[in-house]
Every structure is written in C-alpha cells, then in structure tokens.
A and B are shown apart, each in its own frame.
Chain A
Amino acid sequence: MRRKVIFEHKLLPYLLLAPQLAITLVFFIWPSVQAMWMSLLREDMFGLSSTFVGLENYVRVLSDPGYVAAVRRTVVFSVAVALLALLPALLLAVMVDKLTRRVATYRVILVLPYAIAPAIAGVLWLFMFNPSVGIVAAGIRGLGFAWNPKLDGQDAMILVILASAWKQISYNFLFFLAGLQAIPKSLLEAAAIDGAGEWRRFRTIVLPLLSPVTFFLVTVNVVYAFFDTFGVIHAVTQGGPAKATEVLVYKAWYDGIIATDFGISSAQSVILMAVVIALTAIQFRFIDRKVTY
C-alpha cells in the first residue's frame, strides 16, 4: 500500500514545480511553438515582411532533392554511429565486468571521453586525421590508402562517424556495465553447469537479459546521432566537402543561419522534432512491455 502524501497548502505543489516548468516553457515550449509558427511563414528577401503560406514550406522541403539526399545521409550516419558506439561499448563493458579489481579505475578512464565537449572532441579528431599534419592520417597514408577528408566526401563521412561514435561509447559503456552487473552471477554459473560455454552463455543468457538496456541505448544513440552530433560535424567538416556530411540537423542550421531561409529551416526543425517524439514514444511503449521479462 502506498500512502498518499497530502499537502495542506494548495499553492505549494505548483511552487515546487515552477522552476522546472519555467525552464521547459522558456527553452522548449516557446521555441517549439515559434518554430512551428515560423514554418508556416515566408519572409521576403530583406527580412522586412513575412506572409503566411500554409504548408508550402513543408512541400518545398520534402520535394527538394537536397533534403532527400540529406535524409539518406542521416540514416547512414545514424546507423553507423549507433553501431560503432554500441558494439565497442558492449565489448568494453563485458571485459570490465570480468575484472575483479580495479573496476573503478577502468570505469573512470573509459567514461572520461564523455566529459569532453563535442567541439573539442571534433577538433581533436580533426587534428589527428588532418591530411597535412595529422598523425593518424600519416599512418593511413603510410599503409597506402589515399586519405583526404577535406576533399573526399566519403573520407569526411568516416571521420565524423568515428568522432561522433567515439564520444558516445563512454555513455553506452556505463549503461552496459550496469546492465551486466545487474545479471545475477548464479544465472551464469547455472548455465556453465548446464554445459554452456562462454560464447553460448553470452548469446543465450547475457544478451537477452541485457535487451532492455540495449533497446534503450539504441534509441538514445539514434537520437544522439540525429541531434547531438552537430558540434562534432561543425568543428570537423562544416557539413562538407560539398555537403557530403550535411545531416538533417546540420542542414536545418545551415539553411536557417547561413542561408537565412527561416521558413524552410523551421519546417525542417519541426520535422526533426516529430521524429524524435516518435522515437521516444516507441521507446516508452517498448520499455513498458515486451523487453521486460
């Protein structure tokens, strides 16, 4: 039985919620509503007047081949970032979970990259992979591959994928490690006695029991790849060369801030917002059912 706490004061609950509500209002609701409103307007080229155009901006965005290309690019980018951020994180978590001592030390070391600002991480990778001075770039060339992310779009894409995934590995690692440590050791012992070898135990016991964590992380990583990689891309490639690394969030920023087409940019933002709301909704639905056992 849960006892309900009753506040005598009618105003108190609202006062306690006020700071959070204020933040949500100022930094989320207000800009969102403004973006939605702006996505229905069209400004003249001097920014002196705007006219209501209905859904025309959306029609223009969705029928623009450049936008469709960015969608395709974003899907490739997100899947690659999510995979490259999840698999190494799982591997690291499994290995740290096997340690009996110095677990805390390894955990801290592996979590450190998460504390680095995206732009700084980007610059770091930019330097390492810089075709003229980068140490890794020199190594790649030494192996006989042509490497120039400044000119080659594919190289640039690989670079931003690596930089973005690298930053997210720490976060995934922490969750995977916590998930692994929550699996009772006796289950693995029982499976070992039942005759399962290491790989089989991992496949038939660990992975299924880890599935709620994995599912949560897949969603979080996709959302991360969609939105939070702006800093990395901006620092490393600015969406180039020739828009090869221009993902949706970068395009929305570019079209709005650089090209100052506020209507088009707002329409793109609203579409992105719809995507993230959908992803979150799916996640909540699944976490409530299915993946729990």
Chain B
Amino acid sequence: MATIDIRGVRKSYGATEVIRGIDCAVADGELLVLLGPSGCGKSTLLRMVAGLERITEGEIAIAGRVVNALEPKDRNIAMVFQNYALYPHMSVYDNMAYGLRIKGMSRAAIDAAVQKAAATLELTPFLARKPKELSGGQRQRVAMGRAIVREPDVFLFDEPLSNLDAKLRTQMRVEIKKLQGRLGVTSLYVTHDQVEAMTLADRIVVMHAGAAEQIGTPMEIYARPASVFVGGFIGSPPMNMLPAEVAADGAALTLAGGVQLPLGQSLGAEHRGRPVTLGIRPEHLHPGAEAPGALPALVDLVEALGADTVVHARLPGGAALLCRLPGDSAVARGARLALHPAPGALHLFDPASGRRLPEG
C-alpha cells in the first residue's frame, strides 16, 4: 500500500514563504495532479516529496513512513523530469539499468527488467542509442522507462510533457494514463496544463500562490469551482466573471447596466443587497428569444474554431462576455443575442475573498 500523505507542509526560502500550509493525501494507485500557474509552488511541493528540497514545516509520509529526514534514494520513488534528465553519456539501456545496478541486482535480473520495460515502451530498437540520437518523444519514453524499471512505490512527474509538441503531448498523455492505470502505481503529477490535468487525474489539487485552492475530481472542480481563481483556471475559454449585486429579496442578481438575472433560489439574508461576483462558463450560455432573465449581448468578434464557435460579446454595462456555441452557429459581428444561462450554471463568489458562496 503506497500512499502519500502531505500534512501541513510549508516551505520558505529565507523570509519568502512559497508553500503556505498544504494538506492532501494520495490514495494507493491514485494519480493526483498538482495543477497551477507557474510560480504557484507545485514543483516545489513535488520536489519536497522527492526529497530534493528540504521541508520547512509539516510532514510528508510515503507508504505510511515519514520521509522528512530521508534521502531521495531511501524513499523508493521514481521521478520523470521536465527535461527528462537522461544521462547523456550513457546508452538508453544504461540509462534504464543505472538505478538497478546501484541496487546491486544481478546482471540477468537487470537485463530482464530493462528488456521488459523497453518492450512496454516500444524502445527495444533504441537500446544501444545515446539520448542525443533520439527524438523528443523517444527521450520522454526513456525517462518513463527509467522510472518503471525500478518498480518504485511512487511515481513523481514534473511537467513531463511540456517539452513535446502539441500532437505528441496528446499521444503521450494517453500512454501515461494507460501505463499508470496498468501498473497501478501511486502517482503525483505536476502540470500547468489544465487539459492534461483534466484528462489524467483521478483527483486534482488546484494550487495558487503556495496554497491548495481546491482538491477534487476533475468534474467536481469543473462543476463547482471553489474560488474565482479555480473557475478562471479550469475550463477553456475561461469562465466569465461579472460583478453583480444581490437583489433585496435574495432571489435575483442585478448586473452592471441594470440587467436582472433570476437566481432560481433565494440567498440568505446576509447576502441581500451585497455585491457578488457571478461566474458563468462560456459553454453554459445559450442564445434564445428575448425574455426576462436573458443577457442581452452585442457581438464584438466571432472565432469559428470548427467544432465550436467562440463569441466575444459585450453586455449593456460594457462588461465583456465569452460564449461558446456549436460550430454551425451562424452569428455575425454586430448581432444582438439574448443569452440564457443554463439552469444551475450560475456560480456566485464573494468579491472580497474570491471564495465560492455557500449554497443555501
């Protein structure tokens, strides 16, 4: 049973705190993605799990054993680096065998393990080559191979796909997912790419400024973002964020420009008459007939992407609004649309803290 437990972990460089108290746990066999923009501390957290950075405060346990004081080699982990970190002077075979030789395995056992990993990753024809004689995708595979031959308790991935081109990235993403599922090895995966996170993760930790903003399954995070940051970070194009005010009866919102939007529920007394931030995903706006409760929008720009059409529109108050329509929608610049939010697709956030309002 290999689990990872991260308890109250903090990290400071001098006076600068980069990880500000994170608690999360990775279950046995689970793939947990740490997702966030650059500088949010996700790589630092991963490196602390790997033992490459010291933990300032808190505790990290792998397979139930606290590893704070352990060297990387004593943690029984394998890591795939962003730049692959293949040993340039060794052949593919030696790259994969390096860790096994250090373990003192017999020559035959090493050969069997390397051949098996190479076969899994379709690297057998390249075993004698040096890393510089391989393509980016092949190098990525070697890095994976080096991780899997050691049969570690835990895989750590530090943005392993970000050096690949878009097509290869999609392909390798699928392969990593399959491989991880088949091997069933507990994995921690760092990325700044939300699509990668959504497709790979069993659960996602959305990180922002050194803290975990939300932890949940991809669909939970998509359906109920816990903060303005998460709402804006997950989903493409990003969620529309509009300033609004709760009506006196708590059952409707007044948007800038005087547009009224019924909430379909009544908010508690403490919110009435208060400002809120309204979040609506572009894909949850549907054009329809002019009616109360629809957003009257003026089309500024139309991006036809084939499968979808992204409409950049403007509300009466001047607020910009994105709307994602089916690819066959015939919308022209300058057109007026009445956009109906899908039922239950309104997200309300506290404008001061950015957190989601508790639902009544």
Contacts and interface: CB of A to CB of B under 8 A. Distances in A.
Interface of A: 184, 186-187, 189-197, 200, 204-205, 208-209, 293
B214 interface: no
B50 A195 contact: no
Interface of B: 50-52, 71-73, 77-79, 81-83, 85-89, 98-99, 102-103, 130, 132, 146, 150
A205 B52 CA distance: 17
Nearest to A198: B71
Nearest to B150: A194
B73 to A, nearest CB: 4
Given A186-B81, A189-B72, A189-B81, A195 B88 contact: no
A192 B146 contact: no
B150 A189 contact: no
Contacts of A194: 73, 98-99, 102, 146, 150
B72 A184 contact: no
B89 A190 contact: no
Nearest to A205: B87
A238 to B, nearest CB: 46
A209 B85 CA distance: 13
Given A194-B99, A194-B150, A184 B83 contact: yes
A188 to B, nearest CB: 9
Contact of A192 (B73, B103, B130): B73
27 contacts: A184-B83, A186-B81, A187-B85, A189-B50, A189-B85, A190-B79, A190-B81, A190-B86, A192-B51, A193-B51, A193-B52, A193-B78, A193-B79, A194-B73, A194-B98, A194-B102, A194-B146, A195-B99, A195-B103, A196-B73, A196-B102, A204-B98, A208-B89, A209-B88, A293-B88, A293-B130, A293-B132
Interface SS of chain A: helix, strand, loop or mixed? helix
A205 B94 CA distance: 12
A193 B72 contact: yes
Nearest to B47: A189
Given A193-B51, A197-B73, 13 more contacts: A186-B81, A186-B83, A187-B87, A189-B72, A191-B98, A192-B71, A192-B72, A193-B52, A193-B72, A193-B73, A195-B99, A196-B73, A293-B89
A197 B102 CA distance: 9
B45 to A, nearest CB: 15
A195 B149 CA distance: 13
Contacts of A186: 81-83, 85
Contacts of B52: 189, 192-193
Contact of A193 (B77, B83, B87, B132): B77
A134 B89 CA distance: 49
Contacts of B78: 193
A184 B73 contact: no
Nearest to B94: A204
B79 A200 contact: no
Looking at A186, A192, A193, A209, the one whose CB has the most chain B CB atoms below 10 A away is A193
Contacts of B77: 193
A209 B130 CA distance: 14
A189 B82 CA distance: 12
A193 to B, nearest CB: 5
Nearest to B143: A190
Contacts of A204: 98
A209 B102 contact: no
Nearest to A189: B52
A220 to B, nearest CB: 22
